[in-house]
């Protein structure tokens, strides 16, 4: 499942409202700290796929952060 960067906040808030996750969100910094996740049994293959997708997501978020910082620097000059 792919989530557009503009939809991440909505997905996180939906997960919180459904009781799937608990945590805190810092909208300014763009962070969500997960404190609890509804337990689910996953096999090793599912965990591996999930880990890979989270790694890809982390890379994409980092790239977007870099683009936003670059654009912000240009606006401030």
Reading the block at residue 1, the tokens are 């499942």
pLDDT at 4 > cutoff 90: no
- Which pLDDT band, with edges at 50, 70 and 90, does 77 fall under? low
Return d(Cα 31, Cα 60) in angstroms, integer.
14
Each residue of 28-41: pLDDT tens digit? 888 889 999 988 87
Return d(Cα 61, Cα 5) in angstroms, integer.
8
pTM: 0.48
Give the C-alpha distances (Å, rounded to integers) separating 75 from 14, 27, 38, 44, 68: 33, 21, 42, 46, 10
């Amino acid at each position: 499942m792919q989530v557009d960067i503009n939809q991440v906040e909505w997905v996180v808030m939906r997960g919180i409202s459904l009781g799937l996750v608990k945590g805190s969100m810092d909208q300014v910094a763009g962070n969500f700290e997960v404190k609890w996740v509804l337990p689910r049994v996953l096999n090793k293959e599912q965990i591996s796929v999930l880990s890979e997708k989270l790694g890809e997501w982390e890379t994409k978020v980092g790239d977007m952060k870099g683009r936003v910082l670059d654009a912000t620097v240009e606006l401030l000059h």
